Structure 1
Amino acid sequence: MKINTVVVDDEPLARQRVIKLLENVEEITLIEECSTGKKAIQVINEFAPTLVFLDIKLKDMTGFKVLEKISPNIKPVVVFITAYDEFAIKAFDYFALDYLQKPFREDRFMKSVNKAIEVIKEKHYPFFDNKIRNILDYMNAQGEKKDFIKKIPVKIGNKILFIEVKDIIYIIASGYYAEIFTENKKYLLRDSLNNLITQLNSNHFLRIHRSTIINLNYISELINSNYGEIDVKMKDNKLFRISKSYKKDFTNVMGL
């Protein structure tokens, strides 16, 4: 029995490690690997794999969104892969769904593979699919409740000021600090862009470079430069180049 399998992870090394480990599993046939949620949806809908190894945090969407957007007639067995995410892990444990937490050992990986193969061989698809539906409903309900920060506290001398998030035009990394720009002032905050982006509403804020987050509401225009590059001009006339690693996310969000 050959089990058609797809591996989805936006980290090349992590993706290749999974693929390498699967080479030792006789029942597995790798049919495709995907680095984005968009490609994963296309591949899963086209090939209807029996088994999917799915990273939860992809650059363009979550693994949960991938499962929501595939055809309802396609119901693969899924092994979830995640970097440490306390919220997601508690959900997996609650709904008794198997997951691999990065970095995982080979023996832990094989345990997950064997569980998946057992589900497939014993034809427990309806039971497994119910678990998937339940966790998707749960994650969606929690997502609706999530409150993004509306103000950012910044310490200035012996005072703490609160910046209205809606007034932020862009944020630039500066060493161990983040420079937060509003229309009238610049503020210095000891925090990382990696942390800030998780607290900001993704409907309004987008990372376009490892050192830059912008507020989409303050974009004035886009400029197509040479060699397919894109510059973003903000309403205060500040110009930012979108880096290659974030370009696809930006064009997807902007519908370009």
Structure 2
Amino acid sequence: MIRTLLIDDEPLAREELAILLEHHDDIEIVGEANNAIEGMAQINQLKPDLVFLDIQMPKITGMEMLAMLDPGTMPRVVFVTAYDQHAVAAFEKNAFDYLLKPVVESRLATTLERVRAAQSPQQPLAEVLGETIRHLPCYQRNTLKVVRMEQVEYVFSDLSGVHVATAADTSHTQLTLKVLEERSPLIRCHRQYLVNPEAIAAIRLQEGGYGEIETHSGQKLPVSRRYMKGLKQTFGFQ
């Protein structure tokens, strides 16, 4: 069961979402909260797997609340909002997904499929793709994408999952960084980043053994001291 908490200052909005969630047998609503303060207390007490969080709430907004949670123990958070312009900022603050009000049942189902996939073991998918991964199964909202490995500039992880960046856009994948490092041409430059060597245009050296990669499309990635030596050797630098 996916233990779920609803946080919204509008009782009717919580009720409507709860009715939609009743259609999913693996969703267990363990609590509801009227505001961010109550919501944080219930997260600490109930330890939910999933939180549906309204953005516009009095005193403390959903954005502000998310920033106050401990990243190490934070559940997956799905923003529920009537304002589409908040969506990009939501992902920047590590929300797992977002839904627009009024919530559409099919869009909610897509979000829940992502939640289930994120909770499932990664190894079976890796086995289906074979020993050498030549394309990545990705998704953007309700669109399934097939991204060829040569299109990938870099891959990175955060609290909302693993993201695949090309020169054109960014999408999500269910594969882990570990699997991609072992079975693809991508190399590690940071604990949270893998990069395609073919996408690297320059490596800028910084103090303390750190660095920064610039890709051919102009994106900048961090390089940690641990991986700097191997990265330089890949291109023949001493």
Task: Please give the range of the TM-score, normalised by the shorter of the 2 chains.
Answer: 0.3 to 0.5
- TM-score normalised by structure 1 residue count: 0.45
Larger Rg: 1
